[in-house]
Amino acid sequence: MVQAATDDTLYVILLHNNPDKNKTGPLVHEHVLHLVQLEQQGQLVLCGPFGDYPGGMVIIRAESYDAAKEIAECDPFVKSGVESYELRTWGLSHQGNKHLGVLE
């Protein structure tokens, strides 16, 4: 079941390298421009490659799961087939929302 987005909902795009494909300099540049555009639109929260795993993570704000999926599928790495992705809905737990309503 996909939950509706709230102010405390982010989306995590887990990128996985496709071992049969190579990243070229121009493709990496396109990927970074995609991230810059997300940042300029206020949608990018954090991003970067993993140091101990072939792939990376992009954390974004989006209006819905479907909007987050569209963002993931527009990534040049994903569009080219160099990387595949998993999309996760991430609920933020913090004092302001009483740790997702667990604490009073």
End-to-end CA distance of the chain: 27
CATH code at position 64: 3.30.70.1060
pLDDT digits (tens, 9 = 90+) for 50-98: 999 989 999 999 999 999 999 999 999 999 999 999 999 998 778 887 8
| pLDDT tier at 1, thresholds 50, 70, 90 | very low
Q: Does 8 map to a domain?
A: no
Tally of domains within the chain: 1
Q: Does 1 map to a domain?
A: no
Q: Does 89 map to a domain?
A: yes
Q: Does 7 map to a domain?
A: no
Residue 71 DSSP SS3: helix
CA distances from 8 to 34, 43, 67, 86, 94 (A): 24, 13, 16, 20, 9
Give percent of the chain above pLDDT 70: 92
Domain of 84 in residue numbering reads as 17-101
Q: Does 23 map to a domain?
A: yes
Residue bearing the bigger pLDDT, 101 or 61: 61
Q: Does 36 map to a domain?
A: yes
Residue 39 DSSP SS3: helix
